[in-house]
Amino acid sequence: MNLFDKVQSLGHEQIVFCNNKKTGLKAIIGIHSTILGPAIGGIRLFPYSCEISAVNDVLRLSKAMTYKSALAGLNLGGGNAVIIGDYSIKSEALFRSFGRYIESLNGRFIGGEDMNTNVEDMNNINLETEWVLGSSTTMGGSGDPSPMTALGVFYGIQACLEVVFGSPNLRGRTIAIQGVGSVGFKLARLLHQSGAKLLYHDISSRNLKRVMESFPGRVIEESYFTTECDVIAPCAIGGVINQRTIPKINAPIIAGAANNQLEEEAIDAQLIKEKGILYATDYAINAGGLISVSEELNGYSQEKTREDVANIFNSIKLIVNLAEREKINTVSAANKIAEQRIAAISTLSGFYL
């Protein structure tokens, strides 16, 4: 399949390739849909093995953002950007040059923090364009969105516990977190404060040391998926829930912060359902960060943000109820709710203003 065929099959509106040899910038911006509003999405820095992998990531992540925005009730579309490289290429000039590319899109794409980018990077982009969110509070932004992402996942876990066990109470429940670097660490804090028993898995010994010192639990090594617990919470890379790991899972709930947790969405979601596991659709449960930065567009209010993030509890319950009622998996149910909203709003374009 060539690039245009793939773009058309996924329904993307626009792909932008950005190059600045002097700053070392090689980046791709994907705009999937602007039906609900300007496309919003993360700006990810990653040393992709090849350019095709980078393109595929942009296409996959930007489409997921369309659904995430729609399900969260936001008047925003879906997009995503990737910068090809590792930490060594980071500089003020690189991010400012990328900010100029975002500015050239005149508001069609709004960027924010993502994997391997931070508030400082958003500050540098903000020097060249207003179309970036998550810059520091001193620059008028909302700062690091990861605490709100963690809070949303916390509420989503509570919703899943209520469905499976009849109560959202976390006290005494065992949660296995995979990835405790940023969102996972903040999620561990919330779960620890609520009396949960915590298990940790991370490839970084530094991350494990920090979380064990802060919120004591138990480190699990190779046995992450086979560990007996109430919830496994993938909070690191995507694709970890797949046809190889699903048969090993020894927990009734999967609810974590990672994006694109399923390697093959349709196949894996159905396998999870057939095994009797409740899966909290990733783009629904991890929408807290998106909700947080999107509040900047209307004047940031921490109180309103926390209220909106708390509604993730109801979103997960809505998805589960639809899935049970129509006997479909939770990914199909979430997609259906998002697609119905997009379809309804798309009819307004025929009304001339």
Neighbours of 276 (CB within 10 A): 8
CA distance 20 to 97: 7
Long-range CB contacts (< 8 A, 24+ apart) of 268-276?
268/241, 268/242, 268/243, 269/329, 269/330, 269/331, 269/332, 270/329, 271/243, 271/246, 272/241, 272/246, 272/329, 273/323, 273/328, 273/329, 273/330, 275/246, 275/247, 275/249, 276/252
CATH homologous superfamily of 3-64+76-136 equals: Leucine Dehydrogenase, chain A, domain 1 (3.40.50.10860)
Q: Could you tell me where in the chain the CATH 3.40.50.10860 domains are found?
A: 3-64+76-136
- Model pLDDT, residue 1: 59
pTM for the predicted model, two decimal places: 0.90
| 99, 128 contact by CB (below 8 A) | yes
Tokens of 305: 């943000």
Long-range CB contacts (< 8 A, 24+ apart) of 159-162?
159/280, 159/312, 159/313, 159/314, 159/316, 159/317, 159/320, 160/231, 160/253, 160/255, 160/278, 160/280, 160/316, 160/320, 161/230, 161/231, 161/253, 162/317
- Model pLDDT, residue 160: 98
Taking CA atoms, 216 is separated from 201, 220, 234, 238, 250, in Å, by 13, 13, 19, 26, 22
Domain 146-339: state its class: alpha beta
- Model pLDDT, residue 39: 97
Per-residue pLDDT of the chain (353 residues; tens, 9 = 90+): 588 888 888 889 999 999 999 999 999 999 999 999 999 999 999 999 999 999 999 998 999 999 999 999 999 999 999 999 999 999 999 999 999 999 999 999 999 998 899 999 999 999 999 999 988 888 877 788 899 999 999 999 999 999 999 999 999 999 999 999 889 999 999 999 999 999 999 999 999 999 999 999 999 987 899 999 999 999 998 889 999 999 999 999 999 999 889 999 999 999 999 999 999 999 999 999 999 989 888 887 888 999 999 999 999 999 999 999 999 999 999 999 999 999 999 888 766 66
Q: What is the 3-state secondary structure (H, E, C) of 315-328?
A: HHHHHHHHHHHHCC
Q: Could you tell me where in the chain the CATH 3.40.50.720 domains are found?
A: 146-339
CA distance 252 to 240: 17
